[in-house]
Amino acid sequence: MSSPAPERRRSTRRRPKLSYADADSDDEPERGGKRRRNAALKPGARKGGKAKGEPKRRRRLADAPDMMEEEGGAIDDDDMCASEPDPEEMQRQEEEEVEAALLEAEEQAKAGTLRARRKRKVATRRRTGLRREEGASESDDHFVGDPMPDDEARRRWPERYKPKDSDDPKSRTKKKRSNAAAEEEKEKRARCHYRSAIVEGATFDLGDDVYVRAPPGEDDYIGRITEFFQEIEHKSYFCCRWFYRVADTVITPKLLEVPDHEHDHKRVFLSEEKDDNLIESIISKVKITYVAPNLTQQEKAELISKSDLYYDMAYSVAYSTFANVPPENGGPTGSETTSDISCDNVDSSMEKAIADLPVPPDAQMETATLLDLYSGCGAMSTGLCQGAPLSGLKLTTKWAVDMNEYACDSLKHNHPRTHVRTEKAENFLKLLQEWDKLCKEYDVRNSTCLPRISNDDEDDENGVNEPLSEGTFEVEKLVDICYGDPNKIETDGLWFKVRWKTYDSSHDTWEPLDGLRDSPECIKDFVESGYRESILPLPGHVDVICGGPPCQGVSGLNRNRNHKDPLADEKNKQILVFMQIVNYLRPKYVLMENVVDILKFADGFLGRYALSLLVAMRYQARLGIMVAGCYGLPQFRMRAFLWGAVPSVVLPKFPLPTHVATKRGQHVPTKFSQCLVACDETESKLLDKALFLKDAIDDLPEVENHQPKDVMAYKSRPNTDLQRYIRLNRKDTGDNSLGDSTPKEGQLFDHQPLELNKDDYQRVQHIPQKKGANFRDLKGVRVGKNKSVEFDPNIPRQYLSSGKPLVPDYAMTFVKGRSLKPFGRLWWDETVSTVVTRAEPHNQAILHPNQNRVLTVRENARLQGFPDYYRLFGPIKQKYIQVGNAVAVPVAQALGYSLGQAYQQGEFSGEQRPLFKLPRNFVPVAQATATRLPQGSSAGEVVEEE
């Protein structure tokens, strides 16, 4: 008779309860049809298995990051709402709404399946061990020697010797409610423990790494023996701690087929996942070597060559983490004869909050440089640089890259010390490679001077330049460098911007490198000065890279989305470009941000791909899903974040929420539910209350639909802690981007709405100023069957002065008439779902509660946590795009604090917990004082720009 497949139990890691409050029951269902259920956000068991099926939640084109080419057009057009919505955009948005509802229902069904049934995916191998023949005797499989002393066994594995559950009513009730999966999770009780066992004539000891028989159709598992014990019913078991191969982690086998990177087939990852198995499931020993991160490449190669497999990192399903192995678990094979660290210890999300926030003086802080890729207007790097000093790290945004010129203008204004480049990320990578070659060619690290090459006609006999003949141009100096095609001649290459003698900067031109070979001294001077000023980063010179590479290929507005091969779509390849820059510069830390759709579309392929690239580059990695509202904003906004860290440093944790957040319209992908950063049931009661729209914007001056001034004065003092904090000046928020330069206080920037056209403005004037108001409140509309709208046959259709209908047809038919979004008003006690990049009211709720206009750029910026001193540039529509694409600043601040903590710890110390609590006074709201109006100005007076 063949041996039975090993029994496997589910891990007992608890699933924390989310710190979300459901929206009020009388609130409209996300302003978009039927209210979605919250099953995907409910507490559940923390499991390592992988469910099948993933919703393909669509995303609006307006939310696409700045790498997308923006449409041109006159500035006047960018300052006014379109007279009619784009029919195709409306249709696609409608499809998104419908598909999202259907896929969420499917997601909930699959979430239930996942809880009811779990299939382990652990490490595999080629089958080399001999199988027990059918009908062979199992009597030879037995423990060796005397049982371990009872007191030692009970000390090392106390859970095994606990008595049965008591028969009190509470226990009986819990048992009745438990299902088969929960029963399977129960720890097996032991009669006694042993140190060794003989299986098929071979001796196995505690700490041995072994192949373990898998069920039919699966490759054998790989694990480490942590216990030998006789179960209470006299069956012989061993507990196995599993190793994972790359294909059995969140990366999955499909990613191993992607040709742009590869993983070592001998590399495995030690996990905290453990199962009890019958001892006859053991097949054979395997030599697995631990490779420490501090070894040289030669030492690592030698160790690996002498082993069957090796591991250099641990893997945890929680937060899809690949991290250094704790010292107590990274010793040589066979050394681990004690019980492992419990899952709860590794996965524990709770630790005491830091009572105070001691911030050292700048002179005592360690410093680090930051490169912000796909930077937009700089919100992510701004938050990181504000949060890092609170944990003792002075982080400076040295470089930033984006292809949206308006976003770059905003970043330059707010961060004048930063080298901002307006170009494609692909060209930036090429430029870095060419710049490195130039620095080596001119040996800028050691060079003193280059022999000067004189032209016969360059100087006269007195050393004074002769006047140039008409039509002759001479290089005075080089002022900039780029890679690409700045002159639009369809030839990419390295170019320099040239300042010509006797001409001013308006005559500067881009010239190719080959055309400047007769001016070697100018090139050398530029390269030397550029190296001194660090105009471009070199490999090893960057400490941190952050960025949000766009993935327009996952957008719901992309009708040609490639589900089978997402990387075949050029719109999804920016993740690869981002990682190529990381691999070239090799920073200590990496932080990538993206929409949660990368964890939903095509089974989360792009999220897994980003992880795969980092792990293949030997970076530690950790994936988390964060909600902006959990960090003190009246906006839900769920986003995915991926930490990376080289093996020699500490992998940053994710900061636990500080506030309750009201759930609005977004849900966690089932397969990545382990990545949601949330508090458990007890800790969530200690969080600050959720914030609402009123907390952020009710102190701002009233403005009209047409408001041409982009600089104003406050007319009142702040009313809430959030408003007091958001009005602080740069110095008080820890923003050193302007150095000692401090702008005038009392100036309010960008408090301008997108101007509604005449027809829409008249419609908005008819929308009641009450909670939940929208186009359904217009005359002639009534709610029919299935809560869909229809025209009231008893009321004649109303028309505007232009002759167009008061109630547009597109509003009546949007999402089959079930949507509440067209011309919807927000309300003071509501949380915004997500600040979007378009401010048009045709298919979204964006109207001010009691003013007949859309929210202004500044109001949207406040919902994103931008400080009021942060000024934006470009046409109105471009400002909305910059704000909508930004990372919520408080989220970036919290991540910056985490980065500073990891940076200060230096080398890895064995601490593996993925979450931590922020200090109680992390956001110094208590220090915020009411912003005073400038002397001599009165409330509401416009302060002219200098």
User: What are 203's two structure tokens?
Assistant: 């001796």
Q: How many angstroms separate the CA atoms of 117 and 47, rounded? A: 11
At 602 the pLDDT is 92
> Between these two residues, 393 and 332, which has the higher pLDDT value?
393
In the predicted model, is pLDDT for residue 745 greater than 80?
no
At 70 the pLDDT is 38
User: What are the pLDDT digits (tens) for 654-676?
Assistant: 999 999 998 877 788 989 999 99
At 7 the pLDDT is 42
In the predicted model, is pLDDT for residue 118 greater than 90?
no
Mean pLDDT for all residues in the chain: 81
User: What are the pLDDT digits (tens) for 289-306?
Assistant: 999 998 999 999 999 999
Q: How many angstroms separate the CA atoms of 882 and 860, rounded? A: 10
When pLDDT is cut at 50, 70 and 90, the band that residue 747 belongs to is confident
Tell me the HSE value of 31 on the side-chain side, using a 13 A CA sphere.
27
Is 939 a domain residue? Answer: no
Contact 551, 571 (CB under 8 A): yes
In the predicted model, is pLDDT for residue 580 greater than 60?
yes
At 282 the pLDDT is 97
Summarize the confidence of residues 185-204 as an average pLDDT: 91
Model's pTM, two decimal places? Answer: 0.85
When pLDDT is cut at 50, 70 and 90, the band that residue 79 belongs to is confident
When pLDDT is cut at 50, 70 and 90, the band that residue 786 belongs to is confident
Comparing CA positions, the residue from 33, 524, 7, 415 lying closest to residue 221 is: 7
Q: How far is CA 262 from CA 255, 615, 617, 786, in A?
A: 9, 10, 9, 53
In the predicted model, is pLDDT for residue 84 greater than 90?
no
Comparing CA positions, the residue from 853, 758, 852, 754 lying closest to residue 804 is: 758
Residue 604 has phi, psi (to 5 degrees) of 70, 25
At 517 the pLDDT is 85
Is 938 a domain residue? Answer: no
What residues contact 125, with CB distance under 8 A and at least 6 apart?
211, 219, 220, 222, 286
Q: How many angstroms separate the CA atoms of 22 and 533, rounded? A: 52
Is 219 a domain residue? Answer: yes
DSSP 195-214: SEEEETTEEEETT-EEEEPP
Contact 622, 652 (CB under 8 A): yes
In the predicted model, is pLDDT for residue 274 greater than 60?
yes
**Cβ neighbours of 920 (radius 10 Å):** 13
702 and 679 both lie in a single domain: no
Q: Identify the DSSP state of 47.
A: -
In the predicted model, is pLDDT for residue 136 greater than 90?
no
716 and 784 both lie in a single domain: yes
Ramachandran sector of residue 733 (left: φ over 0; alpha: ψ -120 to 50; beta: rest): alpha
When pLDDT is cut at 50, 70 and 90, the band that residue 877 belongs to is very high
Instruction: Report the 3 state secondary structure along 413-467.
Output: HHCCCCEEEECCHHHHHHHHHHHHHHHHHCCCCCCCCCCCCCCCCCECCCCCECC
Is 650 a domain residue? Answer: yes
In the predicted model, is pLDDT for residue 424 greater than 70?
yes
Is 513 a domain residue? Answer: yes
When pLDDT is cut at 50, 70 and 90, the band that residue 227 belongs to is very high
384 and 240 both lie in a single domain: no
380 and 495 both lie in a single domain: no
Comparing CA positions, the residue from 499, 515, 526 lying closest to residue 442 is: 526
Length of the chain: 946
175 and 291 both lie in a single domain: yes
Is 934 a domain residue? Answer: no
In the predicted model, is pLDDT for residue 61 greater than 60?
no
At 100 the pLDDT is 63
When pLDDT is cut at 50, 70 and 90, the band that residue 251 belongs to is very high
From 510, 533, 556, give the residue that closes a domain: 533
Q: How many angstroms separate the CA atoms of 273 and 321, rounded? A: 13
What residues contact 74, with CB distance under 8 A and at least 6 apart?
none
In the predicted model, is pLDDT for residue 174 greater than 80?
no
Annotated catalytic residue 551: yes
- Indicate which CATH number applies to the domain containing 495: 2.40.50.40
Tally of domains in the chain: 4
When pLDDT is cut at 50, 70 and 90, the band that residue 130 belongs to is very low
At 109 the pLDDT is 58
Is 785 a domain residue? Answer: yes
In the predicted model, is pLDDT for residue 9 greater than 90?
no
**Cβ neighbours of 671 (radius 10 Å):** 26
List the catalytic residue out of 81, 551, 630, 679.
551
At 907 the pLDDT is 67
- Indicate which CATH number applies to the domain containing 380: 3.40.50.150
Q: How many angstroms separate the CA atoms of 223 and 242, rounded? A: 4
Residue 160 has phi, psi (to 5 degrees) of -70, -20
At 817 the pLDDT is 93
At 562 the pLDDT is 81
Sign of CA dihedral 754, 755, 756, 761: positive
682 and 557 both lie in a single domain: yes
Q: How many angstroms separate the CA atoms of 272 and 340, rounded? A: 8
User: What are the pLDDT digits (tens) for 608-624?
Assistant: 999 999 999 999 999 99
875 and 789 both lie in a single domain: yes
In the predicted model, is pLDDT for residue 348 greater than 60?
no
Q: Give the lowest-confidence range in 91-95, 231-235, 702-706, 916-920.
A: 91-95
> Between these two residues, 49 and 709, which has the higher pLDDT value?
709
What is the separation of C-alpha 453 from the centre of its chain, rounded to a whole number of angstroms?
52
In the predicted model, is pLDDT for residue 185 greater than 70?
no
Q: How many angstroms separate the CA atoms of 550 and 575, rounded? A: 7
When pLDDT is cut at 50, 70 and 90, the band that residue 686 belongs to is confident
375, exposed or middle or buried, with CB in 10 Å at 0-12, 13-18, 19+? buried
Residue 338 has phi, psi (to 5 degrees) of -105, 170
User: What are 351's two structure tokens?
Assistant: 């630790």
Contacts 24+ apart (CB under 8 A), 331-338: 331/290, 332/289, 332/290, 333/207, 333/208, 333/209, 333/224, 333/287, 333/288, 333/289, 333/290, 334/205, 334/207, 334/208, 335/207, 336/206, 336/207, 336/224, 336/226, 337/195, 337/206, 337/207, 338/156
- Percent of residues, the chain, with pLDDT higher than 90: 62
- Only one residue has tokens 């087929």, namely 257
Nearest-Å Rg of the Cα atoms of the chain is 31
Summarize the confidence of residues 748-773 as an average pLDDT: 97
- Only one residue has tokens 């004037």, namely 765
**Structural domain boundaries enclosing 326:** 142-347
Contact 224, 238 (CB under 8 A): no
**Cβ neighbours of 800 (radius 10 Å):** 16
- Indicate which CATH number applies to the domain containing 821: 3.90.120.10
When pLDDT is cut at 50, 70 and 90, the band that residue 104 belongs to is low
User: What are the pLDDT digits (tens) for 528-554?
Assistant: 999 999 999 999 999 999 999 998 888
Is 935 a domain residue? Answer: no
User: What are 413's two structure tokens?
Assistant: 């204004």
Summarize the confidence of residues 265-285 as an average pLDDT: 96
When pLDDT is cut at 50, 70 and 90, the band that residue 445 belongs to is confident
Contact 54, 604 (CB under 8 A): yes
287 and 170 both lie in a single domain: yes
| Local structure of 779: helix, strand or coil | coil
Q: Give the lowest-confidence range in 62-71, 97-106, 756-765.
A: 62-71
- Indicate which CATH number applies to the domain containing 323: 2.30.30.490
Instruction: Report the 3 state secondary structure along 557-604.
Output: CCCCCCCCCHHHCHHHCHHHHHHHHHHHHCCCEEEEEEEHHHHCHHHH
Contact 52, 118 (CB under 8 A): no
User: What are 415's two structure tokens?
Assistant: 């961060």
When pLDDT is cut at 50, 70 and 90, the band that residue 140 belongs to is confident
496 and 593 both lie in a single domain: no
Q: How many angstroms separate the CA atoms of 324 and 312, rounded? A: 7
CB burial of 209-247 (b: ≥16 within 10 Å; e: otherwise) equals bbbbbbeeeebbbbbbbbbbbbbeeeebbbbbbbbbbbb
Q: How many angstroms separate the CA atoms of 300 and 303, rounded? A: 5
Residue 627 has phi, psi (to 5 degrees) of -115, 125
User: What are the pLDDT digits (tens) for 799-850?
Assistant: 999 999 999 999 999 999 999 999 999 999 999 999 999 999 999 999 999 9
From 347, 377, 408, give the residue that closes a domain: 347
174 and 270 both lie in a single domain: yes
330 and 218 both lie in a single domain: yes
678 and 734 both lie in a single domain: no
